[in-house]
Structure 1
Amino acid sequence: MKKIVAVIPARYESSRFPGKPLAVITGKTMIHRVYERVKCVECFEQVIVATDDDRIKDEVESFGGIAVMTGECTCGTERVFEAVKNIDADIIINVQGDEPLIKKEMIMDLVNAFSDESVYMATLKKRIELQREIEATNVVKVITDCNDDAIYFSRYTIPFNRENMKTTYYKHIGIYGYTKSFLEKYVSMPESFLERTEKLEQLRVLENGYKIRVKETQYESVGVDLPEHIKIVEEELANE
């Protein structure tokens, strides 16, 4: 049996929403809600919050969670590595700390990608249903090849539909899985040009010639980027 560990990177500073992990959503902080969702997945040996701030660490420990302090990191994947570099694990699942509605089924879709022994990094995509999401630059799009490996991720609408053909677009769902050995390789690579240009850390992998398996999921989540997104999450929780 492979040892699978989940890590939730959660930093305090955010240009658009400072202190986001500690924002209260219907009586619980966002990091508490994310932790509870991830903890429901039975295959995880451990669930760890990786943070750079004592306030987040204290909050996680207050509800019985495990948190580790990390140093300066350029992206969430580097923070995940800092948390697990001394832990015995085969696969690391990275669930963003601003996904309070993440579903167990989505996480299992990602875990199941590693049933293919050739996979060393994986993520998720979902079919886009709304035209405004196709055009929105805050919704990252992904295109894949015939083996379900990523060709490219972009904030731009891809593919460009020159002839107005019937086209299906997919959004990237920003949770990742890696073998621990590949995670170590990732952090040894310098930040890449495309990664800096699009502000998408997964492009470091593609630009260095590695593959990312992209599994389609039928499930939706609502990430929190701005304070006004809290109300949307609370409405979704009420519907659940």
Structure 2
Amino acid sequence: MATKSSMRIDCPSCGESFDADFWTVVRGDRDTGLKEAIISGEFDLLMCPRCRGVFSHEETFIYLDTEKEILAFVMPSSYSGESEKWTAKMREDYEAVRPTLFQGQPVDHEPRCLFGIDELTALLLRDRDAEEETDVMEFMAREADLRVAHLLPSRARERDILFSVPYSGPEPTRGAAIEALKKIEAANDALVRVRKTRELFEKLSGDPLPFLKK
């Protein structure tokens, strides 16, 4: 679950000093309300108890979604000028918190360092767009009696392709996926990631389906 801590904050409008709670770990796969607050821009807003002014205040937190393979250390945007320094610090902190975050489970994806909550918001919105396009593809695949194989989310995200791919036949091979993607593309050429996935698979070699989620 999500965790939080408290610290002393000064209101930028009236100078009032007060204790404010900040989330230190957000589980995007469990805390849907917090995830939506990040997307809507309400996550880091505070209200001064004296003047009632509302302002944003950035503090470092960890965003974790194991299902989507997202592990991000979200730091204040002002840290971006020393990105190498803070990225190195992130890797040190990651090794310290890794056993607690994953409870000894193996992790294949690497943590990423984001500077400013806007970078996390952009990532989540891109994911949402890709998920919606993937849902449309899966619906069309079912209508066409095609099967669907899920890809590793982190690998798909890096390449901005679908999170799953259609295929025909008993096994999800690269060739079977390409042929199925062509069928989906012929039926709806507005699905950009269908085309991008097909084009990427055509450039690769070998028969096994790449990035297949076990």
TM-score, length-scaled by structure 1: 0.23
More helix by share: 2
- Per the normalisation by structure 2, the TM-score is 0.24
Higher relative contact order (CA 8 A, sep 6+): 1
Structure with the greater alpha carbon radius of gyration: 2
